[in-house]
Structures are given as C-alpha cells and as structure tokens.
C-alpha cells in the first residue's frame, strides 16, 4: 500500500470535475486473433505489470491522500468496438466520443479499447488493429504512460514498470504459502494444548512427562500464536490510516508553513537572479484567442485527426522534432484564424516538459512551459530558431532548483486543504491572460519493436486533454521511424477540423522543404 503523491492526487480529484485521462493509441497489423484471445493475453500480461495491478483507495473526508492498493484485472477493462464501417474514419469518430469519457481510478485506473479489422489505416496496406490504452492521469504522466504501454506490448522479458513501495512478497505466491503454513502449524499445536494428550485413566506420574513435553512445545510457539492471533483479528486498514493521518496533520501544517516560507525566500532569489541576468525570465502571457473561447450556444464534442509522418521529414538540422512541430503549428493556426477573419497579433503554446532528479516522488512529474510562437516572423527557419531559443530559455528556468520550492510546499500540504482548493478553483472561467493558446505535448515512445497478438506495430499517437481554456491540443509522438502529430479539438471552438488538419499537414511539409532548400 503506497500513499499517492500530492501531484497525483491533484490529477485524481481534477478528474471529478473535468476529463483528463491519458489516451495512448497504438496501431498494429491485424493479428487475426479473436477478441476473447486478445482479452486473455491482456489479463495475463497486465497481472505481471505492477502499474496495471493497482487502484486507488480514498480515506473518509480526505484526511490523507489516497493510497494505491492491489487489484485484479476485470473483464470490462478490455472493450472491443464493432464498427458499422470498420475503417479509419470510423475509428476516429468513435475515438472522439471516447475522449469525453473517464475511468474511475478508485475502481480500475485503466481500460483498453480494441478495434479489429480496420481498413484504410495509415502506415500499412492491410487491415489494422487499433488499440487505445485509456489511463487515469493519477496513474501516470505521458512519459510513465509510455513505459507502461511498452511493458504491455513488449515481448516477454521486457522491463516492467514497478509501483512505488512495491514489495516482492506482495506478488509472491511462495511468500503467501509460507505465511499460511506458519498459521496452520500454530493452530495445530494450540489444539493439542487445549485438549491435552488424549490419555485418560493413567496415573499422574505417567502423564507428567508427556504434558511437560506439550507445555514446552506450546511455549516454543507462543510468538507464532501471538502473530497468528493478530492476523486473525479483523483490522480495517482505512480506520488505521485515518487515525494515523489525524495524528500527522499538525506536523503537516507545520511543514507546510516552513516550506511556504522557504518558497517565499526562493521566489525572492528567483527575482534577483532574473534581474541580474543569471536566469532567463518567466514565460510570456497572451490574450485568449477564438480557440480559447467556445460558444456556449454551440454543441460541444471531441474530435480527432492524426497525421502520420516519416520521422525523417520532421528532423531538420539543428532542431528537435518538438521545435519543428511548434513551428508548423504556428503557421497552421495563424492561417486558420486568418481565414476565419479572427487573426491575432501573437500566438503561444504550452509545452509540457518532464522533470527528473528534482526530489519529487510522483507519477506526474512535469512542468508546462509557455512559449511564444513568433507569428510576426515571416521567414520560416528564422521563426524556428526563435522558437527553439525561447524553448531552451523556458527549460533552463524550469529546471532551476529554486522552481522546485513551490512543488515541495504542495508535496506536504494536508490532503483536505489541497482537495478544497481543487474543488473551489474556477475551471470554467477563461482568464484575461493565459500561458498559451494551444498545447503541444511531445513524447518519444521508443523503438517500433512492440507487438499485440503477435502482430507488429505501425505507429502511435496521443491526445492531450481539452478543457475550459484549451479547446485545441496537439500530441507529437514518435515510435521507431514514424512520428504522429495528433489533433484534439472541441467542435464548438474548431468546427472544421479537417481544414485545420490540412493546414497543419501543409505546414509540416513547408518547414521540411524550407530546411531542405537551406541545406542545399
């Protein structure tokens, strides 16, 4: 049993107010196996992956953060979808509906959606099998989620993610058998002590030695009997946890106050370092655009599109795939808004960046960076250079130790206080100033050596959640020699997603062509 980190609990509690699940798509060749056989594989394989064998257990009144507890696979965690027209557009239509759903991490924190016999899927000629791993954000961020999926779809012997605090005995049938044998032996000896040696009608001297022998045996097992008795008494772990949480609460308040003061001092140092030029300044702020304000009179619906690219077409000299994608988004979104008669002067994007070695033990360990997209720069490669420099500055600042001071405050904040703040936060209000107009989340998911039902993988994709401010998000996910740029949008803010998808596809080609011409 492992207590959930504050960052992960935040994701869990937010899921009760807005949809924030991870949706990781993997497209394979169709293996030809039945749904029942694939379900059996998932059940067997997930049982050996610690992160897929847990669920959350909350405490009454949120006296402390929830805990991860052991659970078994349920048949309803494997969902096979049968389409009237088993083709790629049909998959995208159903996927849009799925993105409006959420799993309950207190029941089961993940679910697998399977589409078999899909025609017209990218990156292959024959029928495809599309698999979507839906996962509570409390269980993983994008990077950890990719590791979990790799464990599920890797050949036997691949490394498996291990849940924090997991004991080897937790999953060991040998350890469980040893405990059972110990209790059985103690009960047998106790039964002998209670009923004597079964001898009657014999003199006291003749029975004294056997009784002393039994007494010695009973004495030798006293410790085992005590342990067995403790195990036999029903103790509700939730009540024990709640009591301990109440006892810890004054300490938590004190630690929060101390770390709060440390965060205040760190903020002062941060300002001094920024003013002195030793640290890049904070990210810019932007005025919301039409894709950040949806018409409440219009129907809201999730919609997705995917652009599957040869990875080489998103690799240009001196720049990462993330910078190429950001540059293409800057071109496409500017042109899209201009065509709608809603052009803005500035555009920005939020880019999640994974953190490491910051002393925060959480499944969600990242920071969102606000980056200017420099739409006022007409030359494509110059714009890419500016975006790359801005992104580098945001990363330098985000990785500075002073920035972790506030994270350390959150880590020790009492659960009831954090839950109250989350419940009161005005999620439905679009602020006057935002850190970006869209999201571009980029994760490389490793080599293309994954299989499902014995069939090889073609590509992968992902869809960052949309909310009250972000009605258009992008996922950039690499697997082997492919990179998929995924679009997730709300119809109320982006009613013509195919127009935008075509603009983005053209922009990706434009960035590559400009880099090619420049190199020659």
Give per-residue pLDDT as tens, 105-131.
Answer: 999 999 999 999 999 999 999 999 999
Question: How high is the pLDDT of residue 237?
Answer: 65
Question: How high is the pLDDT of residue 261?
Answer: 65
CA nearest neighbour of 135 among 12, 292, 228: 12
Under DSSP, is residue 435 helix (H, G, I), strand (E, B) or coil?
coil
The DSSP bridge partners found for residue 352 are 368
Question: How high is the pLDDT of residue 253?
Answer: 62
In 1-153, the DSSP E strands lie at: 2-3, 22-29, 54-57, 67-70, 78-81, 110-118, 128-135
Question: How high is the pLDDT of residue 277?
Answer: 81
Instruction: Tell me the pairing of strands 451-452 and 455-462.
Output: antiparallel
Distance (Å, rounded) from C-alpha 489 to C-alpha 435?
A: 18
Residue 331: C-alpha distances to residues 73, 294, 334, 401 (Å): 45, 22, 5, 35
Q: Phi and psi dihedrals of 472, rounded to 5?
A: -140, 120
Residue 255: C-alpha distances to residues 244, 365, 401, 408, 428 (Å): 17, 21, 19, 10, 32
Distance (Å, rounded) from C-alpha 167 to C-alpha 161?
A: 13
Question: How high is the pLDDT of residue 70?
Answer: 95
Distance (Å, rounded) from C-alpha 306 to C-alpha 324?
A: 16
**Residues 198 and 210: beta-carbon distance below 8 Å:** no
Helix segments in 132-203, DSSP class H: 142-153, 173-195
The DSSP bridge partners found for residue 286 are 434
- Which residues of the chain, if any, have pLDDT below 50? 157-234
Report the C-alpha dihedral over residues 492, 495, 500, 501, rounded to 10 degrees. Answer: 100
Distance (Å, rounded) from C-alpha 313 to C-alpha 318?
A: 14
Question: How high is the pLDDT of residue 407?
Answer: 75
Half-sphere exposure in the Cβ direction for 455 (13 Å, CA):
24
Q: What tens digit of pLDDT does each residue of 411-450 get?
A: 778 888 889 999 998 888 889 999 999 999 999 999 999 9
> 157-165, long-range: CB within 8 Å, 24+ apart, which pairs?
160/48, 160/49, 160/50, 161/49, 161/50, 161/51, 162/50, 162/51, 163/2, 163/50, 163/51, 163/53, 163/54, 163/68, 164/2, 164/68, 164/361, 165/1, 165/2
**Residues 49 and 161: beta-carbon distance below 8 Å:** yes
**Residues 414 and 59: beta-carbon distance below 8 Å:** no
């Amino acid at each position: 049993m492992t207590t959930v980190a504050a960052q992960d609990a935040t994701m869990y509690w937010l899921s009760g107010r807005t949809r924030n699940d991870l949706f990781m798509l993997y497209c394979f060749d169709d293996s030809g196996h039945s749904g029942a056989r694939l379900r059996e594989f998932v059940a067997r394989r997930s049982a050996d992956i610690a992160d897929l064998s847990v669920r959350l257990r909350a405490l009454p009144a949120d006296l402390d953060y929830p805990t991860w507890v052991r659970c078994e696979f349920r048949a309803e965690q494997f969902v096979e979808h049968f389409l009237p027209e088993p083709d790629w557009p049909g998959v995208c239509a159903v996927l849009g509906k799925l993105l409006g759903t959420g799993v309950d991490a207190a029941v089961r924190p993940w679910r697998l959606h399977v589409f078999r016999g899909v025609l017209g899927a990218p990156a292959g000629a024959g029928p495809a099998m599309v698999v979507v791993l839906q996962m509570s954000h409390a269980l993983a961020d994008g990077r950890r989620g990719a590791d979990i999926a790799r464990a599920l779809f890797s050949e036997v012997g691949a490394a498996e993610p291990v849940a924090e605090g997991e004991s080897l005995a937790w999953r060991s049938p040998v350890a469980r058998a040893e405990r059972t044998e110990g209790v059985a032996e103690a009960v047998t000896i106790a039964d002998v002590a209670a009923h004597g040696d079964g001898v009657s009608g014999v003199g006291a001297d003749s029975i004294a030695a056997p009784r002393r022998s039994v007494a010695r045996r009973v004495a030798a097992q006293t410790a085992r009997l005590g342990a067995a008795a403790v195990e036999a008494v029903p103790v509700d772990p939730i009540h024990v946890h709640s009591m301990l949480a109440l006892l810890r609460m004054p300490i938590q308040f004190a630690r929060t106050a101390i770390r709060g003061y440390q965060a205040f001092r760190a903020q002062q140092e941060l300002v001094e370092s920024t003013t002195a030029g030793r640290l890049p300044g904070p990210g810019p702020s932007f005025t919301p655009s039409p894709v950040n304000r949806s018409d409440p009179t219009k129907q809201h619906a999730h919609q997705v599109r995917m652009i599957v690219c040869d990875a080489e077409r998103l690799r240009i000299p001196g720049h990462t795939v993330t910078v190429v994608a950001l540059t293409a988004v800057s071109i496409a979104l500017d042109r899209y808004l201009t065509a709608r008669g809603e052009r803005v002067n500035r555009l920005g994007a939020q880019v999640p960046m994974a953190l490491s070695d910051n002393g925060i033990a959480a499944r969600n360990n990242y920071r969102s960076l606000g980056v200017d997209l420099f739409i006022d720069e007409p030359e494509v490669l110059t714009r890419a250079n500016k975006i790359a420099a801005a992104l580098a500055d945001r990363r330098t600042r985000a990785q500075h130790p002073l920035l972790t001071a506030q994270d350390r405050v959150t880590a020790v904040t009492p659960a009831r206080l954090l839950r109250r703040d989350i419940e009161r936060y005005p999620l439905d209000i679009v602020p006057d100033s935002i850190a970006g107009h869209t999201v571009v989340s980029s994760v490389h998911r490793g080599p293309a050596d994954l299989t499902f039902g014995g069939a090889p993988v073609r590509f992968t994709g992902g869809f960052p959640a949309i909310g009250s401010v972000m009605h258009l998000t992008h996922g950039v996910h690499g697997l082997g020699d492919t990179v998929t740029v995924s679009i997730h949008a709300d119809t109320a803010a982006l009613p013509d997603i195919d127009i935008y998808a075509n603009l983005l596809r053209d922009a990706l080609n434009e960035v590559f062509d400009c880099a090619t011409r420049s190199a020659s």
